[in-house]
Amino acid sequence: MKVAVVFDSLHPEWEDAEYRRDIAEKKTEEAEYDVAHALMAQDHEVHFVGIRDDVRLMLDRLAAFKPQIVFNCSESFGDNSHLEYAVAAVLEMHGYRFTGSPATALLVARNKSMSKKILAFHGIRVSDFTVFRVGEDLVRPSALRYPLIVKPLLEDASLGIAQSSVVSDNDGLAERVTFIHEKFSQAAIAEELIEGRELYVGLIGNEKVEMLPVIEMDFGKLETAERRIATWKIKWDEEYRKQQEIRTGFAKKLAPELLEKLQQVCETAFHALGFHDYGRFDLRLTHDDEVYMLEANPNPFIAREHEMAMAAEKAGMKYADFIERILQEALKRGHA
């Protein structure tokens, strides 16, 4: 099958052969290269299409290659992650079948306030929150209880989240909200901090979805609830993770009825937000087994040896089979 792999690129002028040379010379390790290798291992005819800030170049290359399906690995447009949805929208407008969620789901899920309201409407527990927009007076609703965690409204991958994101008084709240406004030029969302186990649940499918084995963040030496949050540093700084003995592995001691509850919550969220093919959900499990949804990610990182791929392998899918499964799910649902 002819599969075009579309992805963010620092070299959108490169042709397919130049990306292949980059792989051969092992200059970079990218998720899209892992995906392409997996597709080629399944005997698909793969064509690399990088994009940065020119949709016409992408469309011209797709038109020349005539793919039967596009594997969408894009995470931004014009170096702006908020425009992640735009690439999917262009593919939709031009009639290309592609993997992953549609533009609407990508747009809604990125907005933490919008997605939480939809999830709450469908009976899913989310922490109480408020949004502070740039230029507005900073007034905390009296019902919103400290400690709060303050995040950029529209970022993902824990960007903008640090230990200082957790605040316990009005002065700390004002300081962190101002930081978000100035650093990220966007609204800040302040949520009540939920104590508990940090779980990551991957789903794959469409009408019927399969829950992959549950991943848990072990915060190691970080003892207080205020420090046991998935900051950017905790997620991505390998040296810090080693120093603090932070690990990501498979969750243990989850009773069958709790696993069923996790499946129900995540499957409800998957359909409520309009996800397609696969997705990942970040949860907090409280001491009394209540499930709170922190984030819903319709475009999770699917590189080899990362969490989603780890969970798929635990479920019996080697990496190439995992990527093929996503492709086949997209083909089965067609353009819907």
pLDDT tier, 2 (very low <50, low <70, confident <90, very high otherwise): very high
Backbone φ and ψ of 302, nearest 5°: -120, 25
Cβ partners under 8 Å of residue 228, min gap 6: 195, 198, 219, 222
pLDDT tier, 84 (very low <50, low <70, confident <90, very high otherwise): very high
pLDDT tier, 30 (very low <50, low <70, confident <90, very high otherwise): confident
Shortest CA distance to 284 belongs to which of 223, 230, 213, 248? 230
- pTM for this predicted structure: 0.95
Identify the DSSP state of 98. B
With b for 16 or more beta-carbon neighbours within 10 A and e for fewer, the 190-214 pattern comes to bbbbbebbbbbbbbbbbeebbbbbb
How distant, in Å, are the alpha carbons of 24, 182, 297, 300 from that of 275? 34, 32, 9, 12
**3-class DSSP assignment, residue 229:** coil
Per-residue pLDDT tens digits for 294-323: 999 999 999 998 999 999 999 999 999 999
pLDDT, mean over the chain: 95
pLDDT of residue 23: 86
In the beta sheet, which residues pair with residue 210? Answer: 204
Shortest CA distance to 72 belongs to which of 101, 94, 40? 101
pLDDT of residue 25: 81
Cβ partners under 8 Å of residue 195, min gap 6: 225, 228, 284, 286, 287
**d(Cα 15, Cα 48) in Å, to the nearest integer?**
7
Percent of residues, the chain, with pLDDT higher than 70:
99
Per-residue pLDDT tens digits for 267-281: 999 999 999 999 999
Per-residue pLDDT tens digits for 158-212: 899 999 999 999 999 999 999 999 999 999 999 999 999 999 999 999 999 999 9
pLDDT tier, 335 (very low <50, low <70, confident <90, very high otherwise): low
